[in-house]
Structure 1
Amino acid sequence: MGEQNDSPGKELQHRTRAEAPGKKSWHSQAYALGAVSNFMSTFLTFPIYKVVFRQQIHAMAVSEAVRQLWHEGPQYFYRGIYPPLLSKTLQGTLLFGTYDSLLCFLSPVGPHTLGHRWAAGLMSGMVEAVALSPFERVQNVLQDGRKQARFPSTFSILKEFNSYGLWGRLSLGYYRGFWPVLARNSLGSALYFSFKDPIQDGLAEQGLPHWVPALVSGSVNGTITCLVLYPLIVLVANMQSHIGWQNMPSLWASAQDVWNTRGRKLLLIYRGGSLVILRSSVTWGLTTAIHDFLQRKSRSRKELKTD
């Protein structure tokens, strides 16, 4: 019984630390596991995401957002899914892969302290923001119902961005709203990775099935992180939905506009928070659980080959 009291999360940490520092097969596989887990969770939760986006843009109730999507017709319901599906798959690849690589660089043989996890999460979020901000930009324009006639496809948006000059393509086109994206992603990644393992380890010690601690840990982390950073999420959605080079509002002007249109009330900034809780819980719960499941399967296959 004494040997079986170690939680699955601690067992993973012990085995990871026991591996030779020069052995990179486990760490390189983190990129593939992150890609698969994010792809699956994004596809399953896209309908929730689209309703939340409409709330952030139009400051409407859940029922109104659902009614708006219903009136547009089923042919438009999954409009805009390809950019987030691609970007979230790349996000999982970068987020889990670079985090694992950076963590091993900061602490090759362990133990991984809270400071190590925070620093690795912060840097992996920065890499993610630089690489994926253009995808989110295109996605937010596609999902804005006010722009369906002018920009019916991804190609039409790319054509618009490419008509700007070099600096305009970056600042007004693909990287519109980059600074709040950088703050949101880096802080969100740091929070997620800092507290994921402690929560998962604590639940695993209760003797629960393997998938329960991962699901609950991801759900709790996703919910708390999104609620803390929700004002940045709203700001990014509003900044990136704007298109056209004339009179493009600055970061400060965009923040003031969001604050004023929400009646200068924090409660209205958080309008749509109920769906954000649901989306974050489901998305990060599924992502963490799928990632943990694939990780265990991969380790089991490797152990069978070495026996």
Structure 2
Amino acid sequence: MAGSLNPKQDEESRNDQMVRFHSFFQGGTSSLVSTLIVFPFYKTVFRQQIHNAVVSEAVKQLCSEGHVKLYRGVVSPLLMKILGGTLLFGLQDTILHQLSPSSQNFISPSALPALAGFGAGVVEAVVCTPFERVQSLLQNGKNDRHLPTHKSIVVRLNAQRLSSGYYRGLLPITARNALGSFIYFGLKEPLRVTVEGLGLSPLVSSFISGMLGSMVISLPLYPLSVVVANMQKQVGGEDKGVIASWKKLWESRQRSVSLLYRGGSLVVLRSCISWGVTTAIYDMQQKYSE
């Protein structure tokens, strides 16, 4: 039949589909492991962002609540990171496969992973914003009394409009995730190849490339995360937009960049560990699935 694939083409097509399926699965498992490792760092940073506290004060807050509550709220970020990692790596690989044959004539091949990452980051943001919203409410200690459980939060959010409920903060989240994914996938392979060229093992090279990429991403995009945390920390109240929320945040930090970046050091540390582990596990799984 005209237009049908020959056996070799058919096998290559099946292999391409399998690679993409593996990318979804491997992205999810990599994110699962890294999230469990860095969650205490994440919670400390979140407290700094919403309470404008130094590291010692944020740690003191968490210690006063006890070890039982240290992983309070982990279900939402765990689900979010698993889903986000699944979508991010799987969609990036899928988009990259779709772009590669038709785009090489007018787009540099080296830019394709970054462009695919941008598209995957947009989808990830749309799907994962509700999870981040629930997570933010759970991790705000001031919500313990009137919003103590996932169920109570879901009930309250269901009563809100999507824009002020589950999808509050969607715009800055989309900007942060899309730009971060663009940078991460654009730098991931060049960094890995460079580091591996120094004589380090593939696993260590992947870990270091993930760490270095996260450092480039974390600091410039950190203000967006602070805006998101403050927009999402409560239900109800004044429904401010992104610009109004930024102005309020900037005033509350006394127009000080150093106060705005409070928690930034832990963000870099957390991101380095998280993306280092995620990248190493993902690349290792990719290698063994070839």
- Scaled by the length of structure 2, the TM-score of the pair is 0.92
2:138 is matched by which residue type in structure 1?
L
SS at match of 1:107: helix
State the 1:130 CA deviation. 0.6
How far apart, in 2, do the equivalents of 1:273 and 1:264 lie?
16
Cα distance, 1:163 vs structure 2: 1.9
Paired residues for 1:51-200 under 5 Å: 51-108=44-101, 113-164=109-160, 168=161, 170-200=162-192
Match of 1:16 in 2: none
Query: Residue by residue, what CA displacement relative to the aligned partner does 1:66-124 show, whole Å, maximum 9, x if unpaired?
Result: 00111111221110000000010001100000000000100049977232122111100
Deviates more, 1:48-57 or 1:107-116: 107-116
Give percent identity, aligned residues only. 45
SS in 1 for 2:163: helix
8 Å contact from structure 2 (residues 211, 272) kept in 1: yes
Asked if structure 2 preserves the Cα contact closer than 8 Å seen for 1:84 and 1:136, the reply is: yes
Deviation at 1:21, TM superposition (A): 5.2
C-alpha separation between the residues in 1 aligned to 2:202 and 2:159? 52
1:27 equivalent in alignment to 2:27:
no
Match of 1:243 in 2: 235
User: 1:237-293: per-residue Cα shift (whole Å, max 9, x none)?
Assistant: 11011311x422222111111100111011211111110111010000000011111
**Counterpart for residue 223 of structure 1:** 215
Query: Do structure 1's residue 48 and structure 2's residue 48 form an aligned pair?
Result: no
Give the letter for the 1:68 counterpart. Q
Output the CA distance in 2 between the equivalents of 1:21 and 1:148: 52
Q: How far apart are the structure 1 equivalents of 2:137 and 2:245?
A: 16
Q: Tell me the secondary structure at the aligned position of residue 172 of structure 1.
A: coil
Report how far residue 294 of structure 1 moved.
1.4
RMSD: 1.5
Asked whether the equivalents of residues 21 and 108 of structure 1 are also in contact (C-alpha less than 8 Å), the reply is no
Distance in 1 between the 2:148 and 2:22 partners? Answer: 38
Moved more, 247-256 or 45-54: 247-256
Which residue of structure 2 aligns with residue 232 of structure 1?
Answer: 224
Query: For residue 146 of structure 1, what is the amino acid of its counterpart?
Result: K
Q: Answer yes or no: is 1:287 the counterpart of 2:278.
A: yes
Asked if the contact 1:122–1:186 (Cα under 8 Å) also holds between the matched residues in 2, the reply is: yes
Distance of aligned partners of 1:109 and 1:290 in 2 relative to their CA distance in 1, 3 Å threshold? farther
Q: Write the distance in 2 (CA, Å) between the matches of 1:143 and 1:39.
A: 19
CA contact (8 A) 2:133 2:168 kept: yes
The answer to whether the 8 A contact 2:143-2:234 is kept is: no
User: C-alpha separation between the residues in 2 aligned to 1:266 and 1:34?
Assistant: 34
Unaligned runs of 5+ in 2: 1-10
CA offset digits 1:137-184 (Å, max 9, x no partner): 0000000001110100011011001123xxx1x111000010000100
When the two structures are superposed, what TM-score results if normalisation uses the length of structure 1? 0.87
CA distance in 2, matches of 1:281, 1:247: 35
Moved over 4 A (4+): 109-112
**Whole-Å Cα distance in 1 between the matches of residues 114 and 283 of structure 2?**
20
Q: Which runs of 5 or more residues in structure 1 are unaligned?
A: 1-18, 300-307
Q: Distance in 1 between matches of 2:241 and 2:103?
A: 44
Q: Distance in 2 between matches of 1:207 and 1:20?
A: 33
1:207 CA displacement: 2.2
Give the whole-Å Cα distance in 2 for the aligned partners of 1:237 and 1:21: 43
Aligned pair in 2 of structure 1 residues 207, 110: CA closer, same or farther (>3 Å)?
A: farther
**1:122 & 1:21 partners in 2: Cα distance?**
25
**Aligned match of 1:9:** none
The number of aligned residues is 276
Return the match for 2:266 from 275, 278, 284: 275
* Alpha-carbon separation, structure 1, partners of 2:101 and 2:42: 38
Which whole-Å CA distance do the structure 2 matches of 1:151 and 1:75 have between them?
17
